[in-house]
Amino acid sequence: MRPDFILDIRDNTTGELIEAALEVMAREDPDYLAAKRHQLEGLSKAGRVIAARATTIDSHGTAAILKANLGIG
């Protein structure tokens, strides 16, 4: 099981470099979302996983999504 992306992001407050997996929700149909939920459950056992809709990533940017979900500056 692999995430869509594995990213490193720096916390501007502490300087810590944080690794997180990003799962992109590209569609809204129930079967796709159920499969993604199952994927997220498995991935979360290995570490930090962020799920975001593709439209949200497009409008806010990857860094903003990661920082908001990880609670970092």
Calculate the average pLDDT of the chain: 94
- Contact present, 24 and 6 (Cβ < 8 Å): no
pLDDT value for 30: 96
Distance CA 6, CA 20 (A): 6
Query: Into how many domains does the chain fold?
Result: 1
Tell me the pLDDT tens digit for each residue of 10-21.
Answer: 999 999 999 999
- The whole-number pLDDT of residue 42 equals 94
Within 13 Å and on the Cβ side, how many CA atoms surround 22? Answer: 24
Return the beta strands (E) in the chain as ranges: 5-10, 17-25, 49-53
Average pLDDT estimate for 17-42: 95
pLDDT at residue 73 is higher than 90:
no
pLDDT at 1 over 90: no
Instruction: Quote the domain boundaries for residue 54.
Output: 5-70
